[in-house]
Structure 1
Amino acid sequence: MIMPRGQQLLLPANPVFIAITLLVGLVLNMLPLGQLLWLPDVLLILLAFWGIHQPDRIGMGVAFVLGLCMDVQQSSLLGQHALAYAALIFGTSLGHRRLLWFKPWVQAPQLLGLFAAVHALQLLVRFVSGGGFPGLEVAVAPLLEAVLWPVASWVLLAPQRRPPDRDANRPL
């Protein structure tokens, strides 16, 4: 694949780093922070990021298992988050090649629709199972996730940007 002009050549992603970031995202989602409406789904952002940047390593199975962990922790309908996270990975697999050509702040509005669709799917499953309307967070969470996308991209790609061997004579 030909890289866009001006884009830095990245090192391969460490699978241990990917696993640690997903576990940290799972723990952040499981923190009992009370009734804060303005919290985005951190694990959703991380799954979308790794689904776009490392689709061979993060698949629907990983997303489904992490979703089941979220369902058990939140005592929600078993499979609600699992279905949403698997649908997210499916959506990222459809557009990951196209999204990689854009800068993160251009990717964010494109991913806003995917984040909104995932939250709408969770809301639909909640309504079908007899649950009530969760409130304003349904509309705010995808917006916050899209706003956090460039920050997450910058932080998660930082370990891959470093040169493999520091050399004063090498321009990369």
Structure 2
Amino acid sequence: MIMPAGRPLLLPANPRFIALTLVVGLLMNMLLGLTGWRWLPDVLAIVVVFWNVYQPRRVGLVLAFVLGLALDVHESALLGQNALSYVVLSSMAIAVQRRLLWFPLREQTLQIAPLFVIASLLEWATRLIVQDAWPHWSQLFAPLMQAALWPMIGALLLAPQRRAFDPDNIRPL
């Protein structure tokens, strides 16, 4: 793939860093779920989609399914509700992955927002069918907040890859 002009070369992502960010995302989701506020964003979904876009060979559908099941168990939700949402979200992210990499993080926000909305609609539909629980109006803000957090979390997760591997004055890269 030809890189867009003006983009810096990135170092390969460390698998330990990927695992650490996924665990931190899961813990943040668990802590935010305890607050009871429905409008808070799904941090784990943002991290999973980010790694699906930037490292699709390391973070895939199986890992998204396992993380979704872990979140289902923690929330005492219908087993597979979050897992289904994460798998659909991950598959859509992998489908648009090649196109997203051509844009900077701020411009990716407009293309990522529909993915978060579709995943939330799927989760709401599952909850409505099985539990007969209509989503609260404040839950409409969560996918929009996830899209708004995309550039900030993306810059944070890309920061370790932007550092120079072995910087010196002779080599420009």
Q: Secondary structure at the match of 1:107?
A: helix
AA in 1 matched with 2:140: A
Unaligned runs of 5+ in 2: none
Tell me how far 1:38 sits from its aligned partner: 3.1
- 1:67 corresponding residue in structure 2: 68
Cα distance in 2 for residues equivalent to 1:60 and 1:137: 29
- 1:9 corresponding residue in structure 2: 9
Q: Counterparts of 1:11-160 in structure 2 under 5 Å?
A: 11-31=11-31, 33-160=34-161
* RMSD (Å) for aligned C-alpha atoms: 1.0
**Count of aligned residue pairs for this structure pair:** 172
Alignment TM-score, normalising by the size of structure 1? 0.96
Q: Secondary structure at the match of 1:83?
A: helix
AA in 2 matched with 1:126: R
Tell me how far 1:42 sits from its aligned partner: 0.2
Tell me how far 1:2 sits from its aligned partner: 0.7
Cα distance in 1 for residues equivalent to 2:138 and 2:73: 20
AA in 2 matched with 1:119: S
CA contact (8 A) 2:39 2:139 kept: no
Cα distance in 2 for residues equivalent to 1:108 and 1:148: 9
State the identity as a percent. 50
AA in 1 matched with 2:124: L
Tell me how far 1:171 sits from its aligned partner: 1.8
Tell me how far 1:135 sits from its aligned partner: 1.0
Cα deviations by residue, 1:105-154 (Å, 9 ceiling, x for unpaired): 11101110000000000001101102312312331011100100000111
Cα distance in 2 for residues equivalent to 1:42 and 1:49: 11
Unaligned runs of 5+ in 1: none
Q: Secondary structure at the match of 1:129?
A: helix
CA contact (8 A) 2:52 2:59 kept: yes
Cα distance in 1 for residues equivalent to 2:138 and 2:58: 31
Q: Secondary structure at the match of 1:67?
A: helix
